[in-house]
Each structure stands twice: as C-alpha cells, then as structure tokens.
Amino acid sequence: MPVQTSRRPPALDSPHGPTIPKQHTKGGKPGPGTRKKRSRRKDPLWARLTLILGAVLMVTSGAAVVGSKVLIDQATGNIAQRNLLGDASKSDAEGGNSLEGPIDMLLLGVDARERWAADDVRADSIIVLHIPATHDQAYLISIPRDTEAHIPAFKKSGWQGGTDKINAAFQAGARNGGGWEGGAQLMAQTIKKMTGISFDGAAIINFGGFKNVIDALGSVRICVSQEVESIHMSYVDGKPMWNADAKKTGKQRTPVVHKKGCREMEGWAALDYSRQRKSLKNGDYDRQQNQQQLIKAMARKATEDGTLTNPLKLNELIKVAGKAFILDTGGVPVADFVFTMRGVTGNDLVMLKTNGGTFHSDGNRETLSQETLDMFHAVKQDKLAEFVFANPQVISGRK
C-alpha cells in the first residue's frame, strides 16, 4: 500500500443541446495507462487549477489574458487557504502534486449565514470536478446529499465514526473546534472511502458569496426547467428579502416565483433558484443540476462580456470571487492557473448526472446506483470520457 506523503504546510455545452465530450486518444499525449511518473516537488503544482472553482477564469478560450501574474496575485491575496483534504489527498503513487496527469478536485457548497454557528453547517452541495490528463475538458459530478455513507472516525472533532447521510460528514468534522477545515477533511475522507477517489485540491464555496460574483458579471443566463415558488425569499415593496427578514418588516409579502423559461438573472435570483430543493420534482437531484448550470453560466458570461480580456474587469472579478471561497492550494499562487488551463472553455464544462437524475434507494436509504459507481471508477482510472461516450444518458440536459 503506497505511503501517503504530506504536501501542505502545517496548519468551474452548447446552447443547442448537451455537450458531447471530446474523445481522448493516446496519440500525441500519454494515455491514462501510460502517464509519466511524476516527480515530487516542494510546491504542489495542482494548485494552479483552483481558480476553476470560481468558474470565471477557467474559460479563457485560448485568448490572451490581459494583466500580469503580479496583478492577479494582488487580486487573489484575500482568498483564504487551508488544508481541506488531510489524508484524502493523492499519494505519490496516484500522481502526487503534478499537473501532468488528471486532476480531481472536491467542491463543497455551504449555505452559511451569520446567525448560524460555524460548527453547525452541513455541506449540501458536494461536487467532484474531474479534468482528464489531456487538460482540454472538465466534468462536474454531484453526489446526492442524502446518500447514506459510512463516515470514518475523526480525531480532530471527536467523531467516533458511524453511518449517516453524506452531507453530515462536514458537520461531524467541523464540530468541537474542527472548523470548516475539519469538516472538509472528513467529507473528503468519506468520499474517498465510498468512491476510491483521492483528490488534488478542494474548495469550500459559500454559495451566498456567488451573488457578488454574478453581480460583478452583471447577470447570468439561467434556464428554469420547472416553475418553482421560493421557500427562502419573498418580495416586500418590490424588493427581494430573506423570509426571516421580510417577516420582521410586518409588511405584506409576495412570494418569489421562478417561472419556466430561459432568462438573464441577477445574482440574488440565480442563487435563490439554485437553492430550491423541496418543491422540485426530483428534489436534490434537480437542485444538483441547477447548481451545475449556475457554475457553467458564470463561466460562459465571463468570456462573453470580455471580462477576461479587460484588466479592470478581471481584477475586480477576481477580488469578488476570492471572498466566496476557502481553497486548498498548498501555498502556491492561485494566479498560476490562469496561464496553465487556457484550453478549457465554458463549452468544455460537461455536467453529469448521478443515479439517472432521480431518487435511488435499496428500499430504506438513498444509495449510489451501479452506473454511478462505475462512473466514479472511470474518474479514478481517468477514463471518464470513454464512459460518457458509452453512456450518454449521464449527461445533464440542463443548458
């Protein structure tokens, strides 16, 4: 069994339909089975990928990015960096800390609000981001929040181990002083135990922070697949407000309703729609696809309005995005990614469904279907493109 080595300092389809993944061949670049042995480096280069989490800098489309690394380094200086993976990071035998092979990152979305205790938050959005060794495609795979999982013991928070819904892993790791860092580490370990996937990097995304990113972009184009009345927000005097705040005004409230169809949405509306779950036909599965759609919409908008080629827009966008994340970068400058992944565009971001996009249980609990387990195995083997080509039904129909 390979020895796990530490590599950290102590403590983001076509508008005409779903994108069909590019087929990767062994010609010209090493295939998954022939990848070169990676040399260990003092600074983990995989951290250059972390800006993909903002879904605003991964989509340079080969165009020149205006501004120097110094400028981008200054803008990203406020991004909090922590060890979010712990023992779930890749060992040297799995590729270590080089960008030469496939990249697997864990994105955890939390809906934290000021009135909630820091150690009483669950990660209801759990996304695995896979970038194949060819570095010309990116895949988003969501893990259902209610999937039953064995959550291993975690000394940092005093968690003794047990079985629960997978979204509880973050809470179990964060309590008793474990913090969000401990929550992410325990979630990563739980997913590794369930799927076999080790990670190159991770991020905790405060979805509330995405509002400011979208506002910086102006708006994003979102397609609403089924009409839904918000359970979180209402209008008061024509102004959208959280229900808890709206009640305090004592004024008449009008429900926020997201009607079917495609339209440009402001930050608050796009975030509110992406949060809906209970009244959707397929519950969390529909929400997963809506959240993936949001990330992709942000990536598209960043390229379409010239943000990536305007130094002032780019600088402001990075600053705003930095406030929405906690990243695991190992101390490597986040800005390096901009100059590494220019080949991945918004249309190269493929959204995938787990469990066929609907509920799957063994009669008593929510579980991962065999097809989904096979999909995660393909991620681990860096054969996801081949799997998706043979199983196109896993591609999300969201645009």
108 forms beta bridges with: 126, 204
- Which pLDDT score is estimated for 52? 37
User: Mean pLDDT across the stretch 357-384?
Assistant: 90
pLDDT band, very low/low/confident/very high, at 369 (cuts 50, 70, 90): very high
Query: Could you tell me which residues come within 8 angstroms of residue 80 by beta carbon, excluding any fewer than 6 positions away?
Result: 325, 326, 327
- Which pLDDT score is estimated for 291? 81
Q: Which tens digit of pLDDT belongs to each residue from 168-222?
A: 999 999 999 998 899 999 999 999 999 999 998 888 877 667 788 888 888 999 9
CA–CA gap between residue 354 and residue 140 (Å, rounded):
10
Q: Which of 265-269, 283-287, 318-322 tops mean pLDDT? A: 265-269
- SS3 labels along the chain: CCCCCCCCCCCCCCCCCCCCCCCCCCCCCCCHHHCCCCCCCCCCHHHHHHHHHHCCCCCCCCCCCCCCHHHHHHHCCCCEECCCCHHHECCHHHCCCCCCCCEEEEEEEECCCCCCCCCCCCCCEEEEEEECCCCCCEEEEECCCCEEEEECCECCCCECCEEEECCHHHHHHHCCCCHHHHHHHHHHHHHHHHHCCCECEEEEEEHHHHHHHHHHHCCEEEEECCCEEEEEEEEECCEEEEHHHHHHHCCCCEEEEECCEEEEECHHHHHHHHHCCCCCCCHHHHHHHHHHHHHHHHHHHHHHCCHHHCHHHHHHHHHHHHCCEEEECCCCCHHHHHHCCCCCCHHHEEEECCHHHCCCECCCCECCCHHHHHHHHHHHCCCHHHHHHHCHHHECCCC
- Which pLDDT score is estimated for 392? 94
Residue 380 confidence (pLDDT) above 60: yes
The mean predicted confidence, pLDDT, of the chain is: 75
- Which pLDDT score is estimated for 79? 67
Position with higher pLDDT, 226 vs 319: 226
Residue 382 confidence (pLDDT) above 90: yes
User: Mean pLDDT across the stretch 300-322?
Assistant: 71
Q: How many CB atoms lie within 10 A of CB 309?
A: 16
Q: Which of 36-50, 135-149, 177-191 tops mean pLDDT? A: 177-191
Query: Which of 19-23, 263-267, 276-280, 372-376 is least confident?
Result: 19-23
Domains and CATH numbers, the chain: 64-212+310-394 (3.30.420.590)
pLDDT band, very low/low/confident/very high, at 60 (cuts 50, 70, 90): very low
